Amino acid sequence: MTQRVLCWIRRDLRLHDHTALAMATAEARQVAVVFVFDTTILDALPDRDDRRVSFIYRALCELDESLRARGSRLIVLHGDPVREIPSLADRLDVQAVYAARDYEPYAIRRDEAVARSLSERGRQFRLAKDQVIFEALEVATRHGAAYGVYTPYRKAWRERLAPSDLASREPDLARLWPADDAWPAMPNLNALGFQEVPIWLGAGERAAMARLNEFEERMASYAEERGFPALSATSGLSAHLRFGTVSVRECFRRALAREGDGPRVWADELIWREFYQMILATRPDVVEHAFKPDFDRIAWPGTDSEFDAWREGRTGYPLVDGAMRCLKATGWMHNRLRMVCASFLVKDLLVDWRKGEAHFARYLLDYDLAQNNGGWQWCASTGADAQPHFRIFNPVLQSRKFDPDGRFICEWCPELAGFEAHAIHWPADAGPLEQIAAGCRIGADYPSPIVDHSERRRIALDLLASATRG
C-alpha cells in the first residue's frame, strides 16, 4: 500500500460520496486534502465581491472544520496549481495526487501540465470520474459517436445505468493524514483580494444536504410547478452541483428511488446536465463557436445600447427586466427566465448569444461553462438539440403564462406593483389614467419597450433562416 498521497479537491468540495478521496483512502495509508485558490481563474474575475468566491470560501471553512474534527485539516494554497501542486507534493513527499476529472478546456490543459510535472518528479497523478454519472463517450451511439440529440441520449443513458453507477463512494476517513502545523492554512478572503458577501444560498455540504432533504419533500410537484418563477418549486441545487458540495450520485439516488412524474422529470433535468457535460467534453469548440457551424455566419446587428438595457433590466419588457435585475442582485435566475431572457437578447435584440453567455457567466452563482453554453446555444437555436430557429418566445405571453399574477415581476420591478395584474405584463398599453392610478408613468418611472417584438421576430427569423439555407 502507498504511504502518503494528496487528494486535490476542485469541484468536489465535500467529504462524503467522494470518488477521488475514496480512491485515495483505499490506496494509501495517509491522505491529506488540498485546495488551491487558482490565480489564473481568480485574476480573471472582474468583481472583487464575486459571490462564487464567498461560496467556495464558506464551503472550504466547513470542510476544514470537518477535517479538524477528525484530527486532520485542509491545506489551502493560493497560486498557479501547475506550480503549487507539484511543489506541495515535493514538500510532503507524497507518491501520488488524486483528483476528480474536469471537462472544461482550461482544466484539461491545467491537469495535463500538473500530470507532466508530477511525473517528472516520479509521482503519479490519478484522475477519477465524479462530476457526472457518465462522462464523454461512455454513452454513445451504436457507431461510438457522441449524441447530438437529447432524447435518444437520455434513453441510452437510462439503459446503461446500473446500480453500481450510483453506489456511494465513501472515503475511509480514518486514513486522513494527522494535521501538521507546517501545512499552509486557510487564508483570509481579503488576503486573496476578495470581499466576503452575503449569498441567498447556504454554502457547504451540510447546507446542500439540508436543501436536498427539503426538496425531496417537494419533488412530487416538480413536474407541474417548475416553470413558475414565483414558486419555490425547483431544487436550487445547481450551485451545489457546480461546486460538488452535493454528490450527483446522491441526487440521482433520491430521484430514481421515487415514483411519479416529479422525480422522473427532475432526473431528466439532471440528465440534461450530463448531456451538456458530454457535449463540452466531445465538442470543446462550442466554447467559442456555434455547435451547428452554419450559425456562425450570422453577423448579429444588435446595438450596445440595447445590450446595456438588457443587462440593466430596462428593456420595457417586465418579465425580462425583473429577471435581469434579480440576476444582478442575487446571482440567481430561474430556468424559465434564463430561457426568456436569452431568447429576448438573441431574437428580439439581435445580439450575439456569446455576449449574453458572458454576462450570465459573470453573475450566476451556479455558473457552469457546459450548462451555460448549452443553455445559451439552445435558446439561440445554434446548439445541440436546440430550440428550432423558427420558434421564438413571445416575452409577454411567457409572462402571462408563467407569472400570471405578476408576483415575480412586482418583486423586482416594484414601480409596476400599482398596476392591475393583467396590465403588469405589458404596461406600455396602459392609458394615462391607468398610469396615474398605478403611480407609474411609462417612459419616466418605467421604460417604454425598446423594441417591437413582432418586427424583431421577423428580422430574427430572416437572419436565422439565411444561416440554415447556407
Ligand X SMILES: Cc1cc2nc3c(=O)[nH]c(=O)nc-3n(C[C@H](O)[C@H](O)[C@H](O)COP(=O)(O)OP(=O)(O)OC[C@H]3O[C@@H](n4cnc5c(N)ncnc54)[C@H](O)[C@@H]3O)c2cc1C
Nearer to ligand X, 269 or 411 (CB): 269
Residues 6+ apart with CB under 8 A from 133: 157, 161, 165, 166, 248, 249, 252, 274
Of 7 and 290, CB closest to ligand X: 290
**Cα-based angle 271, 275, 277 (whole degrees, multiple of 5):** 115
Residues 336 and 409 sit within 8 Å (Cβ to Cβ): no
CA angle 149, 142, 388 (to 5 degrees): 15
CA distance 217 to 238: 18
Give least dist CB 49 to ligand X, A: 19
Closest CB to ligand X among 263 and 427?
263
Catalytic residue, from 27, 104, 138, 300: name it.
300
Say if strands 75-79 and 2-8 run parallel, antiparallel, or are unpaired.
unpaired
DSSP 8: E
Q: How far is the CB of 337 from ligand X (least distance, A)?
A: 9
H or E element in which residue 322 lies? helix 318-330
Active-site annotation holder among 225, 272, 394, 434:
272
Q: Check if 412 is active-site.
A: no
Please pick, among 135, 250, 269, 434, the residue that the annotation labels catalytic.
Answer: 269
Measured CA to CA in angstroms, residue 168 lies from 40, 268, 319 at distances of 33, 20, 41
Report in angstroms how near the CB of residue 276 gets to ligand X at its nearest.
Answer: 5
| CA distances in angstroms from 431 to 7, 135, 400, 434, 453, listed in the order given | 65, 56, 19, 5, 20
Give the separation between CA 118 and CA 114, rounded to whole angstroms: 6
Cell output for 268: 431528466
State how far the Cα of 352 lies from the Cα of 3, in Å rounded to an integer: 53
- List the one residue out of 392, 388, 396, 435 whose CA is nearest residue 416: 435
Catalytic choice (376, 378, 412, 426): 376
Residue 175 or 242 with smaller CB distance to ligand X: 242
Task: State in angstroms the smallest separation of the CB of 366 from ligand X.
Answer: 4
Q: Residue 147's closest CA among 242, 266, 283, 249? A: 283
Catalytic annotation present for 332: no
Residue number, 345 or 396, with CB nearest to ligand X? 345
Task: Name the residue whose CB lies closest to ligand X.
Answer: 375
Cα torsion angle, 210, 213, 211, 22, sign: positive
Per the CB < 8 A criterion, the answer to whether 458 and 328 are in contact is no
- The C-alpha cell at 344 is 429576448
Count of CB atoms situated within 10 Å of the CB of 383: 23
Q: Is 426 a catalytic residue?
A: no
Q: Please, which residue, 392 or 424, has the CB nearer to ligand X?
A: 392
Q: How far is the CB of 330 from ligand X (least distance, A)?
A: 13
Q: Please, what is the minimum distance in Å from the beta carbon of residue 385 to ligand X? A: 11
The 10 Å Cβ neighbour count of residue 388 is 9
Catalytic annotation present for 269:
yes
User: Contact positions toward ligand X, by CB under 6 A?
Assistant: 226, 234-238, 241-242, 269-270, 272-273, 276, 335, 338-339, 342, 360, 364, 366-368, 371-372, 375-376, 379
Q: Which of 266, 353, 378, 412 is catalytic?
A: 353
Q: Closest approach of Cβ 115 to ligand X, in Å?
A: 27
Tell me which residues are annotated as active site: 269, 272, 300, 335, 353, 376
